[in-house]
Amino acid sequence: EVQLVESGGGLVQPGGSLRLSCAASGFIFSTYDMHWVRQATGKGLEWVSGISTTADTHYPGSVKGRFTISRQNAKNSLYLQMNSLRAGDTAVYYCVRSYYYMDVWGKGTTVTVSS
């Protein structure tokens, strides 16, 4: 079964850091681009980072310079290092597989930035 399981969410103070992880199984991880997409409570979807099979990375302006996406193919794992966190980063963060389109989503992990 194709599966993505996120972990690492939690409560962090403004200005703090958090590292999210995503464990992939049921498919050949190294052959897919991967993304992180977030959703604040009651709001829409926001793409926050993507990494290709060749480790090229992309970010929107809202997180560029603060977030870093990485992957470790040998461990079938995706990561998101989040620094200088703000209240506006509070959301459910989804790990997403992509082959041209985002076709498999994890259940998400919740990040809350609050003092």
* Cβ(110)–Cβ(11) below 8 Å: no
* Cβ(60)–Cβ(48) below 8 Å: yes
Give 38 or 71: the residue with its C-beta nearer to other proteins.
38
Stretch that binds other proteins, among 13-21, 23-31, 73-81, 103-111 (CB under 8 A): 103-111
**The only residue of 18, 35, 67, 109 in contact with other proteins, by rule CB under 8 A:** 35
Taking residues 81 to 100 in sequence order and writing x for each that binds other proteins by CB under 8 A, - otherwise, the string is: -------------x-----x
* Cβ(90)–Cβ(28) below 8 Å: no
Beta bridge partners of 24: 4
